[in-house]
Amino acid sequence: MKKELGTIQALFPMPVLVIAAYDAKGTIQSMNAAWGQICDSDKIALFLDEDHATTKAIRETKAFTVALADRAHMAEADYVGIVSGNKVADKFARSGLHATKSALVNAPVIEEFPVTMECELAEVVQTETLFAIVGKIVGTVAEERVLDEKGKVDPGKLDAIAFDQFRHGYYAMGEKVGQAWNAGATLAKAALAAR
């Protein structure tokens, strides 16, 4: 029996992304964002409120980074989602996080997070129903400890957290249960053979 739940954001998992940018004065602005998604092989779209200090910083310096939050830094990731740089001038300094400038873009890479995409601002999409920051991913820095033997990020080593839009929980991720483009191969083979 299904129950109608109305207009809710029924996607799970949502990522826990920490977005960081320098503002025009060189101060680090950062925020937590769950509403973000890869939208092309080298692009990411973020759905950020226009008034956030981080959004303004991205528009000023035209670059930003996107880090995957892990369990060890859940408190810091949550903190940057609660407090605004519009109200607390030294918000990032008070987070306990540390950052260095990306070698590829004019944006800070937060040291504590294991994987960070380095992005140039590609486009600000503004329509009647949408405000999106689109970034071109020009590089990705990862801690060696989260890489597999082929140099790819191993989600099993990330200890990444996901956001639950239903009840606002954070969930640990990392258990592999199958291989994409393979788990359905038997069904696909049978369907193609039956044509």
Q: How many residues bind ligand FMN (CB under 6 A)?
A: 21
Of 19 and 146, nearer to ligand FMN (C-beta) is 19
81 lines the binding site for ligand FMN (CB under 6 A): yes
Residue 51 in tokens:
């008034």
Is residue 132 within 8 A of residue 122, CB to CB? The reply is no
- Report CA torsion sign: 183, 147, 170, 138: negative
Of 83 and 124, nearer to ligand FMN (C-beta) is 83
131 lines the binding site for ligand FMN (CB under 6 A): no
Shortest spacing between CB 78 and ligand FMN, in angstroms: 6
Sole binder of ligand FMN in the list 86, 125, 189, 191 (CB under 6 A) = 86
The stretch among 43-51, 95-103, 108-116, 183-191 that binds ligand FMN (CB under 6 A) is: 43-51
Could you give the residue ranges of the DSSP H alpha helices within the chain?
A: 53-61, 74-79, 155-158, 185-193
